Amino acid sequence: MDCANVENLWIEVLKQNKKYIIGGVYRHPNSNVKEFTSELDCVLSNVNRWKTPCVLADDFNIDLSKIEVNVDTLNYV
């Protein structure tokens, strides 16, 4: 994927003649949540074009307990 500010890695796996995509995505704890959310949308839109079942592993480093006090966290969710 080429969405500049999101660290991500994807592999394609074939099991019993069925194709799957497995991805890993990372957000650095000090990076901007709003920008990350936008870039993540870019990444996931690219993956969606493949029309293949996807498994996503992530380390987004977003404190979901702040959903009521942080608009960027709310928009991420």
Look at 5 and 57; give whichever has higher pLDDT. 57
Q: What is the pLDDT of residues 8-25, one digit of tens each?
A: 999 999 999 999 999 999
26: left (phi over 0), alpha (psi -120 to 50) or beta: beta
Q: What is the mean pLDDT of residues 31-41?
A: 92
Q: Are strands 7-15 and 54-59 parallel, antiparallel or unpaired?
A: unpaired
Question: Does 3 score more than 90 pLDDT?
Answer: no
Question: Does 43 score more than 70 pLDDT?
Answer: yes
Position 1 scores a pLDDT of 47
pTM for the whole structure: 0.81
16: left (phi over 0), alpha (psi -120 to 50) or beta: left
What is the domain partition of the chain in residue ranges?
Answer: 7-76
